[in-house]
Amino acid sequence: MVWGKTPRPKTAPRPVDSPYLTVDEAAAYCRRSRKTILNHHSLGNVRSMPGTRPPLFRREELDEWVAKRRKRRGK
């Protein structure tokens, strides 16, 4: 057993200055799993920047997507 600092959980969002987020950063930002973001991206619900590989997501579009989901669920 090794004593030391407890590691930060991977789901804890870290501050990012860029308006463009990778899949992992978008998942942490929206508090969803990586798989959920990719599933909604393949369905066309979450758009990414065209021509980027791996996909990059804009914060504004992620905010709209989360707000739309909350409104639909009645929260």
Q: Give pLDDT tens digits for 36-69.
A: 999 999 999 999 988 888 899 999 999 999 999 8
What is the structure's pLDDT at 31? Answer: 92
- What is the pLDDT of the chain when averaged over all its residues? 84
Question: For the whole model, what pTM was predicted?
Answer: 0.70
Taking Cα atoms as reference points, which of 70, 46, 69, 68 lies closest to residue 57? 46
Share of the chain above pLDDT 70, in %: 79
pLDDT the model gives residue 33: 94
For residue 59, what are the CA distances in angstroms to 43, 62, 70? 19, 5, 17
Per-residue pLDDT for 14 more than 70? no
Residue in the structure block whose two tokens are 């804890």 = 12
In terms of C-beta density within 10 A (0-12 exposed, 13-18 middle, 19 or more buried), how is residue 71 classed? exposed
